[in-house]
Amino acid sequence: MTTPRIPASAHPPSPPDDEVRPGLRAKTVATRLTPEELREVEAAAGRDGKSLAEWLRELALKTARQRPADTMELLLSEVSATRYMLLNLFHATAHANAEGKHLLPESVLKIRDQADVRKLESARKLMADFLAQGGQDGSQNGGKP
């Protein structure tokens, strides 16, 4: 004996206007450009090998998702980079001296570049760890006695 089945509708119900299924882009954003501005924007999209719509969407979302600059985060990222550089320069110099060699300028530049790449991520991790341990006053109970 088979279980009766309800036939699927030929046209599934449409979601309400304010509800969009994940991954489905159903809204449009429009703007007006001068012919010159349009040529500039189309050229920029073309340089990136993207359609105008794709290029505009990516740029708009990237800009919308950027966090505003946090002064503390910027300062902490520079302190983190400086710490990383100092420790690595001391270590590399000691290692080179132990082998009777000198630290090459290229090695110093490589350490600097590595510090720059990782500084913001490191600062965010330090801030997250700090806040997870109780925040600015260092207590676990949010500053209450």
Q: Mean pLDDT of residues grouped by 10 in the chain (145 residues)?
A: 47 53 82 94 95 93 80 91 96 95 94 94 90 69 45
What pLDDT is recorded for position 70?
81
Amino acid sitting at position 125: K
Please tell me the distance from the alpha carbon of residue 7 to that of residue 24, in angstroms, as a whole number: 25
Please tell me the distance from the alpha carbon of residue 49 to that of residue 62, in angstroms, as a whole number: 17
Please tell me the distance from the alpha carbon of residue 9 to that of residue 2, in angstroms, as a whole number: 21
What pLDDT is recorded for position 50?
95
88 and 111 Cβ atoms separated by less than 8 Å: yes
Residues 6+ apart with CB under 8 A from 122: 77, 80, 81, 84
Please tell me the distance from the alpha carbon of residue 109 to that of residue 116, in angstroms, as a whole number: 11
What pLDDT is recorded for position 108?
95
